């Protein structure tokens, strides 16, 4: 994303360069999932239904061909629990075969598959019986992980158990609060990406937090017992709580339950996924608005690419140097692809600064490979590849070609000098 004459940072051997998607957001017609039920119930508060999404359930070979042709070597995709186990205790052999074919298809194309087991959506039956608050939620998720081993086989190295557990726990807390107040939940639009979701509004539900950590650990054990070669972790939504002068303790108080407890749970893992998009400024009395006049994205977030480097630094501070980092999501919702290029170039430069400072970063996966269903709306376009909603035709954007060229050339853009860093949130 920088010209050949600009400063460039050579990638370490084995560094992953690719893009990410999640099952529900790109596959379409995930009819056995809890979110599909919520989207399609009469009077649903969700603005748009996922519908056919990007039809990647059928078009995944084309998606993988495009990514490989652009120069990427890694594809993070999800497998959908609701498809694999549409009714409790009933495993769909066809769904297992489908996802197994995706794994083999990635490997055959020279793409390293990073497979996510749970990306926000659950089977209807699981949520109907209490979801993550059910007494046997951990056992049910561990059983699903055991079935997922059939999908992974011996072709997958990297497995993410649960995507953004901190956002899942926050959504539960918001739903509980708004239900008590007798009004629709702002989290019921399924949105964890910021369209109408404020991650500073409440603290995560502590019971859900505890269950998710136990479910992650149980799935970790299942996977490692099946194949010690699996590299297992989970991904955290890094909020980059940036303290204004004198507000360090206030910012730390926001970070502890919303992020740090989930990072601490990764200290025994094989890797930790960093997912960063913007910052949250914290003053003496709590969160501050986006600075007046600042550029914002289609999600309403501040255009702040350096969030990535700051998220990696904070993650390293909390987790320690013994757990490598993989950037599993980073990107921008914009209709202006030149701004996507600018954002990504600066984000990567901030990542390089942390790698130079000693952070063990093993990969960068852009969010997202495709324009897709962003949890209630198709309006926020994060994709490197545009998707026609009527024909599903895929069109790579200039940003895809430029980021792909970096992957092919095995270099990242950098500033040549490290950018100044903001006041960190103290680890607790």
pLDDT digits (tens, 9 = 90+) for 285-341: 999 999 999 999 999 999 999 999 999 999 999 999 999 999 999 999 999 999 999
Q: What pLDDT does residue 423 have?
A: 44
190 vs 355, higher pLDDT: 355
Domains of the chain: 8-413 (3.20.20.80)
Predicted TM-score (pTM) of this structure: 0.94
> Residue 397 pLDDT > 60, yes or no?
yes
Distance CA 312, CA 328 (A): 11
Structure tokens belonging to residue 182 = 């007798």
Q: Which of 195, 189, 48 lies closest to 120 in space, CA to CA?
A: 189
- Three-class SS state of 78: strand
Q: Which has more pLDDT, 102 or 193?
A: 102
- The sign one gets for the Cα dihedral 173, 176, 180, 185 is positive
What gap in Å lies between CA 400 and CA 341, rounded to an integer? 9
Do the Cβ atoms of 18 and 363 come closer than 8 Å?
Answer: yes
SS3 123: strand
For residue 48, count other CB atoms closer than 10 A to its CB: 15
> Nearest 5 degrees, angle CA 57-CA 402-CA 60?
10
200 band by pLDDT with thresholds 50, 70 and 90? confident
Question: Mean pLDDT across the stretch 59-86?
Answer: 98
By the 8 A CB rule, do 422 and 365 touch?
no
pLDDT of residue 74 exceeding 90, the answer is yes
The sign of the torsion formed by the CA atoms of 318, 324, 325, 328 equals negative
The span from the CA of 46 to the CA of 229, in Å, is: 41
What is the rounded distance in angstroms from the CA atom of residue 130 to the CA atom of residue 57? 28
């Amino acid at each position: 994303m920088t010209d050949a004459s600009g400063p460039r940072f050579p990638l370490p051997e084995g560094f992953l360069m690719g893009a990410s998607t999640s099952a529900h957001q790109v596959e379409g017609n995930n009819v056995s999932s809890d979110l599909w039920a919520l989207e399609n119930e009469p009077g649903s508060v969700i603005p748009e239904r996922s519908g056919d999404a990007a039809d990647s359930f059928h078009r995944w070979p084309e998606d993988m061909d495009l990514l490989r042709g652009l120069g990427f070597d890694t594809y993070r995709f999800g497998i959908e629990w609701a498809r694999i186990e549409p009714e409790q205790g009933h495993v769909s052999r066809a769904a297992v075969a489908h996802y197994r074919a995706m794994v083999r298809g990635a490997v055959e194309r020279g793409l390293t598959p990073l497979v996510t087991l749970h990306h926000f959506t659950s089977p209807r039956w699981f949520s109907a019986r209490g979801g993550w608050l059910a007494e046997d939620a951990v056992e049910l998720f561990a059983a699903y992980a055991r079935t997922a081993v059939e999908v992974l086989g011996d072709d997958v190295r990297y497995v993410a158990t649960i995507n953004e557990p901190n956002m899942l726990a926050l959504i539960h807390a918001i739903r509980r609060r708004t239900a008590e107040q007798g009004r629709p939940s702002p989290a019921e639009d399924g949105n964890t990406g910021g369209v109408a979701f404020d991650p500073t509004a409440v603290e995560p539900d502590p019971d859900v937090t505890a269950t998710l950590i136990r479910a992650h650990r149980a799935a970790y054990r299942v996977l490692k017992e099946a194949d010690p070669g699996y590299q297992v972790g989970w991904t955290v939504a890094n909020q980059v709580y940036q303290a204004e002068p004198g507000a360090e303790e206030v910012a730390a108080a926001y970070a502890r339950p919303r992020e740090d407890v989930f990072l601490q749970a990764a200290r025994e893992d094989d890797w930790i996924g960093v997912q960063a998009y913007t910052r949250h400024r914290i003053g003496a009395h709590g969160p501050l608005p986006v600075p007046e006049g600042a550029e914002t994205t289609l999600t309403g977030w501040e255009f702040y690419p350096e969030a990535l480097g700051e998220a990696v630094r904070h993650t390293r501070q909390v987790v320690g140097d013994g757990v490598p980092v993989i950037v599993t999501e980073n990107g921008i919702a914009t209709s202006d692809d030149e701004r996507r290029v600018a954002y990504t170039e600066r984000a990567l430069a901030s990542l390089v600064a942390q790698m130079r400072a000693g952070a063990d970063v093993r990969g960068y996966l852009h969010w997202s490979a495709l324009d897709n269903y962003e949890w209630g709306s198709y309006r926020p376009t994060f994709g490197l590849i545009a998707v026609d909603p009527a024909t599903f035709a895929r069109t790579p954007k200039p940003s895809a070609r430029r980021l792909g060229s970096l992957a092919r050339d095995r270099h990242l853009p950098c500033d040549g000098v490290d950018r100044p860093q903001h006041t960190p949130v103290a680890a607790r």
